Chains A and B, each alone.
Chain A
Amino acid sequence: DQQVKQNSPSLSVQEGRISILNCDYTNSMFDYFLWYKKYPAEGPTFLISISSIKDKNEDGRFTVFLNKSAKHLSLHIVPSQPGDSAVYFCAAAGGATGFQKLVFGTGTRLLVSP
């Protein structure tokens, strides 16, 4: 039972354009969401988070949008840079799993070409 889904395994974008990565969740009890970025053979690094009381959170080039009614969140990267090429995981917490555990999606591989 995949509670957090990233339906696009890969995304290709040109440098300078916007990258939009999507994530859907099924558990309505989730109320905290995170995005992590991962390079090959390295651990994920925390990027940005959002709690369910907000619908948008911005940090520099990265913005996360949350649509609770649709159980959907997205990560926007503007402008995209070649160094952004990595796998992006969304994760969720809350509800029965509490805040001790994160439930991860399967990841989206972003390729930003010069």
Chain B
Amino acid sequence: DTEVTQTPKHLVMGMTNKKSLKCEQHMGHRAMYWYKQKAKKPPELMFVYSYEKLSINESVPSRFSPECPNSSLLNLHLHALQPEDSALYLCASSLDRGTYEQYFGPGTRLTVT
């Protein structure tokens, strides 16, 4: 089973709102990732967690705040977003932070109004 789940599927939020995206996997993977994907572009890495610790932050603005409460869960807290932050937000996981295959969840389609 290579399933990564994400909630919600769609999210519309205003620029003053606070919301969170959730990602879950039960494959025993120890690395989890957040990507952002704009239309007709490839996924762009935002954060990497390895063994529940943040190991890569790709200079993402502080209005995006990741959290890894345990090895199966990954959250992305959103605050004071801009309309240009509207995108598909993808979570992925892999066995480890190494050369292993990354499996993507279905994504959350975020619209900032």
Does A pair with B? no
